[in-house]
Structure 1
C-alpha cells in the first residue's frame, strides 16, 4: 500500500514552499523541521504494531524528506554557475529526423585491451539526443566466427567466455571475460543489436522575457504559462490537450525542460527541479500534520490519497506544473516542450565493427619501422560547441585585463606541521580557462606571490608581521610553522597568530602570459608535417617541432567534434610520433595554434578578507 503512496509523492513533489512568505531563514526553517521530525519519530516508536510502525515511519520520513528538499531549494545560491543549452544542437541539423539519423550513423564501438584479464567494449555516441532513445544490444561476434550473447551479471563460475553489460560512470559498455589464456585468442570483431530513436512531431520552444511573468504562449495547441519567477526559482504551467502517441514511453523522458538565463544572457546551471502544484502541496501538508498527530492514521492514507488524486486529475485535466531552481538570479526563461502527439520511430539494426583507440605496442626487437595508423571511420557529422566557444573568445588576456578576469577564492584549510594541525585561511587566485591554457597549465600560471600586506581597514593601518614568520616559498624559510606562507597562486595565513584582525590583503603576483599565433589552411594547402586523410588529421612531430594544437572545420565552417586522439611511434627515438585526431565528419579547413613565446606581467590585487564572516556563520550554524 505504502509503495503507491510514496511513488505518487515523488511524482508530485512539494514545490510551492519556495513561494511561501516567511520571515525565518532557511536554516531556521530546517531546524524547526528537524524538531518536528524528532517528535514524530518518538510517536512512531511508541506504536506497538510492528507493520504499522514501519509503515508510518516510511511514509512520514518521506514527507519530511520532501519538505527538506524544498527548503534546500529555497536557499539562494552563493555563486553563479553557468551551463550550456542542451537544445542548441537542433540548430546544426535540418530537422529532428536528420538529427536522429545522424545520431544512429555515428555510434562507434571502442575495443580496449589494456586490461590483461579482459577486453572492454565502450560505446561512443556523437552527441546526446534531446529526445528519447532506446538501445538493445544482444551479442558480440568474434574473429573465429563464434558469437556470445550479452548477459546482465557476471557468472561466478567462468567456464565459458562471457560478455557482461557494464555501466561505469553512467556509460554503457561490455566486459568480455575469458576462462583461460587459450580462449583469449578469440577477439571481438562486432557488436550486434539495435538502437531506436523516438522522434517527436516537434520540439517547441517558448521564450519569456523578464517582464512577461504571468503571460501564456501557445504553439501547436500547447499552452505554457510563466507562473512565477522569484530569484533563482521558476514555476510554469503547461496545458497540453494532445494525446501522446502510444508508441512513446513518457515515463522514461522529460517532456518539459526549463532553462533560464541571467542578465548577462548566459544559461544558468539548474540545481534542482520538481513537479506538482501548490494545491497538492496543501493536501500533503495536511497529511503530514495528521500523521504527526496520530501516526496510526497512516492506514487510511492510501484511500485518502487516491480520492484526492482523482479529484485533482479531474480538475486539472491536461495540466502539468513544473518548477526549477538555478545557480544564479533568473532574468529570462526558455521552456522546451516535446510534442509527442505523433512520434516517428527511427530504428536501426547494427553489426557494428569494433575499433582500437590505442596504438598497439610493438613487440620486443620488432623490425617494423613504426606503429601502423589505423582507421576509425564514421558516416556521421558532429560538431563541438565547446571548441567553437573557446576559439571564438580571446586567446590570452592582456596585463590590463588581469584584475577583472582572475577569480579570487577564500576558504579554510588545514595545515599540518610538527606542532600539529592548524586551521589557516587561504586566498587563492584562479586564472580563467582559455586558449592559452592549452599551452600554459593554469596550475603553473603564476610565478609566485611576490608581495602580500595585511591591513586592519581598507586604507588603514598595515599589520606588521616579522619577516622570519613569513615563508616566501623561495627555499629560505628555516622555521616549521609560519604565520603567512606564499604559494604559487595563493596566500595562506593563520588568523589567530596575526597581531591584529586583518580585513584587507594587498599584494602582487607575477603571471605568465602566452603569445599565441593562429593560422588556417585548406586541406589541399597544408604546411609540411600536417596531412589529412578521410576523417583523420595527422601531425608528424619529426617535421612539426613546435607544440601545436590543430582543430578541424567542415565545408560549412563549423568545428568538428573529435572521436579520439592517438599517438603512433615512428621509430625508437622519443618524440618521433605521428599524432592523429579522428573526427566526426570530413575536415575541410585546418586551424593551427602555436605558442611563439611568453612573458610575465604584474597582477596587483586587493582582497576584502572574509574570514571573520566565515567564523560568524559557523557559530550561527552550531547554535
Structure 2
C-alpha cells in the first residue's frame, strides 16, 4: 500500500514556493510547525516495526509538508509575475481527441551534438512545450523500449545506467534535469580515445509506446467576484467559486456523471485554473492545495490509527485501503485552492469531463534525426511534419517591435552589489525583448559620463568626488559600472550620469507564400533564407497559415561555408504549412541616453576615509 498516493502532489507545489522573510504571525506558525515536526520525528523513533515506521513517516511527513506549504502560500508577498495562457492550445483544436492526435503525431527524436567517444544523447521533441506545473493537460504515459543501431542490433531501455554492464546501454540522461525525457546511448569506454569514435554503431530508430486519455469535452467558465457562491452548470458539470481573494481562488467542482471505466485508477485532475489581473494578462501560479478540510481530517484519522499500532499487518493494510476506498467513494466533488503571483481580477476555470473518455495507445518507431545548429551541408534536409501547432506567445513577443524610448527607459531596473569593496558594481538591466533581439552586433557602447558624490549633513547629494581613472570602470554596452572603494578619498553616497540604451527602428512587412522575392524560398514547411540578401543580423521571419495564427517554429539550421565559416543560408522549420510570412527588418539603430541618479548602498565594512 502506498499511503502517499492521495497526497502525491504535495512535493510539486512545495517545490514552487518562494523563500523570504517571515511576518510575526508566520513566525509563530512556523515555530508551532517546527515543534510539531520535532515531536513527530521523536515519535517515529519509538516505532520498531520498519514497515509501520515507513508508512507513518510517509503519511505524517506529507501532512506536515502540506501545512508548511499552506503557511508559505498564505504569507507570501503579492508580487506580480505573468505567465502564459497554458490552455490556449485547447482552443485551436475542435475536439480533445484532435489535440491528442497532434501531441502523438508531432513527436520526433533528435540526435544531439556530442564530442564524446562513448555518449550519444537523444532528445524526444514534443509539439507542445510545457513548464511545470502546466503539463500536457490529459493523463498520459510514455515508455521507451529500445533503440535500433546501424548494425541492426537492438539495445533495450533500462531505467538507469549500469557501471558494471560492459555493453552498449540505453538509459535516461541523468545530468539533464530540464529535459527529463532525454535519453543517452552509452558505449563502452575505450581508454586513450579522445575523439568521436565513428566506428561505433550509431542509433537509427527509437521504439516505445504512448498512451493518452482524452476527456469527452472541456468546459470553460469565466468567473469574477460577482460569481462567488453561485453555482454555474453546463450539462453534467457544476462549478462553484467558493472564494476569490486578492491572490487566491477556492473552487469546487461536481460532476453528476460517473467517471468513465476507461479512465481506470488514473483519477485525473479535472480542474485547470488560471487567473488574469486588470491588464488581461495571465498571472503565474505560486502553488495550490487540492485537499479540503474533510479530506485532511480523514488522512489525520488514518495517521492516528497507524500510530496506535505496534506492528504492520496485512489485515491492517487492507483495513486502511478499504477505509480509503469508502471515503473516496463518498466524495462527490473536487476541491482546489490556487494561489497566484499578483492581484486577481477574474479566474478562468476549465473542467475536463471524463464521464466518457477515449484512450489512444500507439506503438512508436521514430527515426532519429540529426540537425546541427550550424551545418556545412549545401543541401536542405527535410523535416516533414504531419501536424499543425500554433505559437500563442508570438503576438506578445512581437509587440516590442514598436517599443518607444519611454517604454525602454521605464523598463530599466538598477541593481547594486557592494559585497566586494574592491569591485562594487551597479547594473542597469531591462527585460530582453524582440527589439533587443534585432539590435545586431554593430552597436557601439559610446560614452557614459558619470560622477560620484558625497552626502551632505541632510543625507542629500553633496560635493563631487575627484577620482583617479582607475577608481571606476564603465561598460556602456553591458550597462555596468564597477568601482573600487579602496581608491576613493571619501565614501561615495550617490552616482550621477547617463548610460546608452539601444533602440532599433523595425520595419514590418507581409509576404504571400506563393509570391516570395529572390532570397526567400519555401520547401514544404521549411523556409530558406539567403543570408546575402536577408542577413540574420537584421531580419526576422515569422510564418502564419490560412487561419491567421502564427505557426510554431520547430528548429532552425544555419548553413555555412566550410572554408570561410561565412553564412550561406538559414533554414527555419515550422509545425504546419506557411501561407504568409511576416518580415521584420532593422532599418536603423538609435542610442537612447538613460540619465540616472543612484543612491549607493553602503558596504558592510566601509573603507576608512583617507586624510
Q: In structure 2, what is the equivalent of residue 572 of structure 1?
A: 563
Q: In structure 1, what is the equivalent of residue 181 of structure 2?
A: 172
Per-residue deviation, 1:401:
3.0
Give deviations 1:388-430, integer Å, cap 9, x for gaps: 3212x13143223334333x2546552264xxxx8x6x66433
Q: In structure 2, what is the equivalent of residue 430 of structure 1?
A: 429
What is the rounded CA distance, in whole Å, between the counterparts of 1:70 and 1:35 in structure 2?
17
Per-residue deviation, 1:217:
0.9
| SS of 2:128 mapped into structure 1 | coil
Match of 1:152 among 156, 159, 171: 159
Q: In structure 1, what is the equivalent of residue 466 of structure 2?
A: 467
Give deviations 1:16-46, integer Å, cap 9, x for gaps: xxxxxxx95323422343345446656766x
Give deviations 1:179-214, integer Å, cap 9, x for gaps: 579994533332233333321101111211132222
Q: In structure 1, what is the equivalent of residue 124 of structure 2?
A: 123
The reply on whether 1:341 has 2:355 as its aligned counterpart is yes
Match of 2:518 among 523, 528, 532: 528
Match of 2:578 among 587, 596, 603: 587
Alignment of 1:65-80 (within 5 A): 65-80=65-80
Q: In structure 1, what is the equivalent of residue 608 of structure 2?
A: none
Question: What stretches of structure 1 of length at least 5 have no aligned partner?
Answer: 16-22, 363-369, 469-475, 616-623
What is the rounded CA distance, in whole Å, between the counterparts of 1:76 and 1:27 in structure 2?
13
What is the rounded CA distance, in whole Å, between the counterparts of 1:477 and 1:298 in structure 2?
76
What is the rounded CA distance, in whole Å, between the counterparts of 1:306 and 1:519 in structure 2?
64
Per-residue deviation, 1:72:
0.6
Alignment of 1:229-240 (within 5 A): 229-240=244-255
Alignment of 1:233-272 (within 5 A): 233-249=248-264, 251=266, 253-272=268-287
| SS of 2:101 mapped into structure 1 | helix
Corresponding pairs, count: 572
Give deviations 1:51-73, integer Å, cap 9, x for gaps: 68887766655443332211111
CA contact (8 A) 2:286 2:341 kept: yes
Q: In structure 1, what is the equivalent of residue 17 of structure 2?
A: none
| CA distance 1:103–1:296, change in 2 (3 Å) | closer
| CA distance 1:296–1:178, change in 2 (3 Å) | closer
Alignment of 1:552-571 (within 5 A): 552-570=543-561
Per-residue deviation, 1:227:
0.9
The reply on whether 1:138 has 2:138 as its aligned counterpart is no
Alignment of 1:72-471 (within 5 A): 72-112=72-112, 114=114, 115-128=116-129, 129-166=136-173, 168=176, 169-179=178-188, 184-249=199-264, 251=266, 253-281=268-296, 297=308, 313=328, 317-358=331-372, 371-391=378-398, 393-406=399-412, 408-410=413-415, 414-415=419-420, 417=422, 428-440=427-439, 450-451=449-450, 461-464=460-463, 466-468=465-467
| CA distance 1:131–1:37, change in 2 (3 Å) | closer
Per-residue deviation, 1:272:
0.9
CA contact (8 A) 1:570 1:578 kept: no
CA contact (8 A) 1:546 1:594 kept: no
Give deviations 1:146-181, integer Å, cap 9, x for gaps: 433333333445554433344633432332334579
| SS of 2:518 mapped into structure 1 | coil
Per-residue deviation, 1:106:
1.4
CA contact (8 A) 1:550 1:591 kept: yes
CA contact (8 A) 1:448 1:509 kept: yes
Per-residue deviation, 1:296:
6.7
CA contact (8 A) 1:165 1:175 kept: yes
RMSD: 4.3
Q: In structure 1, what is the equivalent of residue 529 of structure 2?
A: 539
| SS of 1:66 mapped into structure 2 | helix
Alignment of 1:509-528 (within 5 A): 509-528=499-518
What is the rounded CA distance, in whole Å, between the counterparts of 1:396 and 1:452 in structure 2?
33
What is the rounded CA distance, in whole Å, between the counterparts of 2:301 and 2:444 in structure 1?
58
Give deviations 1:218-266, integer Å, cap 9, x for gaps: 1221211111122222211111232212222564743212211112221
Per-residue deviation, 1:514:
1.2
What is the rounded CA distance, in whole Å, between the counterparts of 2:342 and 2:483 in structure 1?
31
Per-residue deviation, 1:477:
2.8
| SS of 2:419 mapped into structure 1 | strand
